[in-house]
A and B are shown apart, each in its own frame.
Chain A
């Protein structure tokens, strides 16, 4: 009984109350209005803004923690951190470019229409309308009712297919090609420059002389 009381309190104060508080906030009022109106710019801005925030914070944390991680060999540590920095910066840049290009609804519609536009043109639509007319489910509908319901279903289907196509192109172009191929490809050489930036202020590394004794205690104290 004690445990269930604690659990209930944890759920109430840890989950329900905060979520209820968010759901009643002014911010959510604004978000709901825009999501209901399908304000695409607003929705896309939230999606991209979230990605940038997550990538930005991730980049900061990864760089900070990598630099401080004594378990990573010292000569590799700075490169690992520099790669994180270059990756993070480029990732944000890639998201913004994608937002303006391949993930942009107008661009996606253009690509979709180029490949599949003809399949949704009016004469083709009329053809499908005629093709489905004889199905038993629609026999009782009048010509006008049938046309109206078919049009609604066809438009919904069309926008659904367009939406899926958009998500798939974004997934392939952004998630795989841009974020996992182009970004690491550019970030790796860029990391060398970033490494220089992270090393600013550090003492210059002394090259180890072949003849220098680095093992004896005397040698260490003179270093």
Chain B
């Protein structure tokens, strides 16, 4: 398998892991995962409009704290749905198309600037597939790609920066893992091993009971209920903390099969530790096993340290890849390219934040003016009572039927003016 093929396979596996985790996680987590669809820009606009248009008016109109008359509150409350509709309209007409335009420009290499080439690789997305990018980077020891018609070539300094970021991520993982193993894991396992050694009968009896009960369970739900009851019983009987931890460890397995496997595993380990004569022997056994596992991590760390030193020295992409190739199944090129993709996404996110703010501020006066124009007209048409149009009509009839003064000019008799006076 070539490095490019290996990288693509890894990318596919990452997707499979995600799919797998989604399918085995509890329903509550699956629901949150599905609801991620409701966290984008469009749902946000819709939910916001729903809140403005349907919820806010209720709290304005039926507000028992307010002493303002009901008509005025209703009149003001009805402004909210109009404002919500206008917000959806302006977002749909300007904000969303603008963000789509930025994405389109990014895929077509429009952010290409001859004077400042930095912008080219900061905002332009590659047109090629990941496989092609990895293949090209592996063969040419360079990161270059097409974005639309434009050819983007990453400068040496940028590749060094990406390599350093990728190596730092790897080091963070390995160092964290090693630290946990050397401190927390060793302590925990020695304490657990000592418990197995000193409480052989109790451990075996409990495991035998769990095994038989689990074997009689028909589904995951039943086994989960059984473990809930068992843990309650152990807590009520003030069982040893280590025994409680063992049962909790088993119960936290997600299904019947993995629970059975975990019981078998603990049974075998506890039998092994039960035969030891001293704490020293327990400690030796635990240390030997963990050290063997740590060996691989130390090799990986040494390799990453060497890569970091080479990058600091200014060694080329080719030379750093050579060091990375010391490790089996290495996909360093993929990590570096993934870093670059992540950076483009982050840059575009920031870019959209800045330009989006400018666009929103620019359309705000338009949206305000539209609301200012439409709102009174809407109220006059559909709620004439509230907008005083009905009062005006009543006043109009009243004026017409009132005894006419002897001297009257046309202008003075204009009913609209008179109505306003009445309104005051």
With an 8 A cutoff between CB atoms, is A71 at the interface? yes
Looking at A1-9, A53-61, A94-102, the stretch in contact with chain B turns out to be A53-61
Residues A28 and B354 in contact in the complex (CB < 8 Å), given A119-B26, A121-B252: yes
Complex Cα–Cα for A223 and B51 (A): 46
Is the Cβ of B18 less than 8 Å from the Cβ of A137?
A: no
Q: Is the CB of B36 within 8 A of A127?
A: no
Q: Which among B33, B44, B57, B119 is the interface contact of A164 at CB below 8 angstroms?
A: B33
Give Cα A44 to B254, complex, Å: 36
In the complex, how many angstroms separate the beta carbon of A181 from the nearest chain B beta carbon? 6
A148–B261 alpha-carbon span in the complex (Å): 21
Chain A neighbourhood of B21, CB < 8 A = 128, 132, 153-154, 157
- Within the assembled complex, what's the spacing in Å between the Cα atoms of A194 and B272? 78
A32 touches B409 (CB 8 A): no
| Across-interface contacts of A127 in B (CB, < 8 A) | 252-254, 258, 262
Question: Judging by beta carbons under 8 Å apart, are B254 and A128 in contact?
Answer: yes
Is A65 an interface residue, CB under 8 A from the partner? yes
Q: How far, in whole Å, are A160 and B361 apart by their CA atoms in the complex?
A: 31
Inter-chain contact A205/B424, CB cutoff 8 Å: yes
Q: How many residues from B make CB contacts under 8 Å with A?
A: 109
A176 to chain B, nearest CB (A): 5
Interface majority SS on B: helix, strand, loop or mixed? helix
- In the complex, are the beta carbons of B376 and A83 less than 8 A apart? no
Chain A residue nearest to B417 in the complex (CB): A220
Q: How far is the CA of A157 from the CA of B29 in the complex (A)?
A: 10
Chain A's interface size range is 35 or more
Query: What B residues does A165 contact at CB under 8 A?
Result: 32
Chain B 367-381: CB-based contact to A (< 8 A → 1; otherwise 0): 011011001110010
Indicate if the CB atoms of B47 and A36 lie closer than 8 Å.
Answer: no
| Most A Cβ at <10 Å: residue of B105, B296, B343, B424 | B424
Segment at the interface with A among B110-118, B140-148, B310-318: B110-118
B76 at the A interface (CB under 8 A): yes
Give the distance in Å from the alpha carbon of A68 to the alpha carbon of B26 in the complex.
Answer: 57
Q: Give every chain B residue within 8 A of A36 (Cβ-Cβ).
A: 342-343, 346-347
Asked if residues A135 and B66 are in contact (CB atoms below 8 Å), the reply is no
Tell me if B322 is interfacial: C-beta within 8 Å of chain A: no
**Contact, CB under 8 Å: B67 / A176:** no
A188 interface residue per 8 A CB criterion? yes
* A-contacting 9-mer, from B9-17, B191-199, B273-281: B9-17
Given A36-B346, A83-B76, A54 and B13 contact (CB-CB distance below 8 Å): no
Q: Does A16 contact B (CB under 8 A)?
A: yes
Chain B residue nearest to A30 in the complex (CB) = B350
Q: Is B201 an interface residue (CB 8 A)?
A: no
Closest 5 CB pairs of A and B: A153-B17, A180-B51, A71-B376, A127-B253, A35-B350
Ordered by A's residue number, 24 sampled pairs between the chains whose C-beta atoms are within 8 Å are: A19-B111, A20-B113, A22-B354, A23-B119, A24-B113, A31-B350, A32-B351, A50-B360, A53-B361, A61-B368, A69-B372, A72-B387, A73-B423, A75-B72, A79-B72, A80-B79, A123-B252, A127-B253, A128-B24, A135-B20, A157-B18, A184-B56, A205-B424, A217-B412
Given contacts A46-B350, A124-B254, A168-B35, 8 further A-B contacts (CB under 8 A): A75-B72, A76-B75, A131-B253, A131-B257, A156-B18, A181-B55, A189-B65, A214-B418
Question: A residues near B, CB below 8 A?
Answer: 15-16, 19-20, 22-24, 27-28, 31-32, 34-36, 38, 46-47, 50, 53-54, 57-58, 61-62, 65-66, 69, 71-76, 79-80, 83, 116, 118-119, 121, 123-124, 126-128, 130-132, 135, 137-138, 141-142, 144-145, 148-154, 156-157, 160-161, 164-165, 167-168, 171, 175-176, 179-181, 183-189, 191-192, 205-206, 208, 214-218, 220, 223
Q: Which residues of B contact A (CB under 8 A)?
A: 10, 12-14, 16-18, 20-22, 24-26, 28-29, 32-33, 35-36, 38-39, 44, 47-48, 51-52, 55-57, 59-60, 63, 65-68, 71-73, 75-76, 79-80, 101-102, 105, 110-111, 113, 116, 118-119, 122-123, 173, 248-249, 252-255, 257-258, 261-262, 296, 329, 342-343, 346-347, 349-351, 353-358, 360-361, 364-365, 368-369, 371-372, 375-377, 380, 387-388, 399, 402, 405, 407-409, 412-413, 417-418, 420-424
